[in-house]
Structure 1
């Protein structure tokens, strides 16, 4: 069989074009690589889940709800002027642009040309890294939470306060752990490493955790004996962000209540307790019974 040189060139030029299934496979690999990079990011789990929803256009924006005939008006609930899609509420709305202007210079200089939420994430991941990238995605998450506060609670967080909250989240997430013996870190900011109580007694520890991303407060209580054996636990979650002192005090109340429910008896000099409570400094997060 003979084949002309021109015929060979035509054959190979056509073969170099990707077939439909090959193009689909290549796009799928690119898609998988994007999600792999996203899940490898050093970020709080709640922020990664938020990014996953953004990348899949799963947030209940007014635009999405309008397409499903759930709401009658697709306009943004903040600016009231444009359709609220993922990109609008997180980036191009005037209220969101005011937030980004409060961020660092690297974020301020970004010029977005994407058309959807996934494009926004890909753009941020291309242009930023490290704490700058973490800051950008945390700010995005908080912009969405602020939007929900406007819709459901009629509350609007100023740009400066929102960025300050995001900076605190990044700072708390990135601060290094200096020891494998993890201490309890109550909301008051003090740290107490657990040590066993004297024989024949039990120790009650409590901690209050403030989640600035989700605007929530968590309280946990542990009761252990002198051998370190766990006798009782309790956890409470509140859908509001409390003052750190209030959260620590509420944790103490739950700790005392759980101890009393187990039949423990509290003893102490009343005057000294009152004097301790009147001090400006934070109270301890453990006590002996």
Structure 2
């Protein structure tokens, strides 16, 4: 199947039952209740969330005809996906894979308090994303040859760990601080992004330190506890690496961040140049334009899609 890497990785994790359904969280002793957060009466297994739930069926009922006619009630998602692969052609499988990813995104948005998206919007976004992806396949190489290659490339974290790039942007005229963060795995797949805005007057050092603190708390809440931290503020990195007394606002924030990091399984921090931190910087700049905080799980915001595609290609090309 020809699908974006993020969708392919999502399907791999889904078939491995590695997604945080309420059923999986109960099994891991993280939650006590395993009922579907949308329809409530049924246990939220992955097969239920992405296939048999009533609100999911509303979406599948507007998909391609062959997908609509697919019937399976197996409680295991891997079996459901295998049966679909046996019955559908490649274009329909690509459509189904994209829909499943968007259904999971819609579910996460609902759980985190966002508006519930209409089935029509899921189908329309599926069609639009597939068109954009196919179009991008013919343009990626052209974009690289026109000088969009970063001077210092982003590097993947080691297997089993995740990399968090963070940055801050300051709007002095409005006393605003924009915060950007992106978490990727050892395959370079985007797991989560953060865009937040705060009304405060901070020095560049304090703003960078505060951005790191917010990004760390976001990672902690997402359950990602094995981190490699990368930022382009050398001062923040050095303060975090060495236990030095600093009573400035930025120094106190770094000290609080160090306390949060004690709850992580493992972490390391390293300085990087702006060229390898452009995605986090773009997220921070975009946060200044938003009226509210934006937390995206397993979905790439439009403002960084091109940068992510270029960076992924450069990383692959230079390996």
- Structure 2 length as normaliser, TM-score? 0.47
From 216, 220, 236, the counterpart of 2:279: 236
Shift in Å at residue 132 of structure 1? Answer: 1.1
Report which of the two structures shows the higher radius of gyration computed on alpha carbons.
1
* CA shift digits 1:200-228 (9 cap, x unpaired): xxxxxxxxxxxxx989799xxxxxxxxxx
In the other structure, the counterpart of 1:44 is 4
Pairing 1:4-15 to 2, within 5 Å after superposition: none
- Tell whether the 8 Å contact from 2:52 to 2:73 is kept in structure 1 after alignment: no
Q: 1:157 to 1:122 in 2, by over 3 A?
A: same
CA deviations 1:140-184 (Å, max 9, x no partner) are 011111111011123211111011111111111223755785137
CA contact (8 A) 1:131 1:170 kept: no
**Aligned equivalent of 1:139:** 99
The correspondence of residues 12-161 of structure 1 with structure 2, limited to 5 A, is 41-161=1-121
Show structure 1 runs of 4+ deviating over 6 A: 213-218, 241-244
- 3-state DSSP of counterpart to 2:38: coil
User: So what's the TM-score if we normalise by structure 1?
Assistant: 0.51
Contact 1:139 1:163 in 2 (8 A): yes
CA distance in 2, matches of 1:107, 1:216: 31
1:100-130 CA-partner distances (Å, limit 9, x unpaired):
0111111111111423010111012111122
Secondary structure in structure 1 of the residue aligned to 2:84: helix
SS in 1 for 2:75: coil
How well do the aligned residues superpose, as a CA RMSD in angstroms?
3.4
Give the match for residue 170 of structure 1.
130
Gaps of 5+ in 2: 149-189, 196-272, 284-294, 308-319
- The separation in 2 between residues aligned to 1:46 and 1:243, in whole angstroms, is 12
Question: Which secondary structure does the structure 1 equivalent of 2:142 belong to?
Answer: coil
State the structure with bigger RCO (CA 8 A, min sep 6), 1 or 2: 2
| Aligned residue runs from structure 1 range 205-224, under 5 A | none
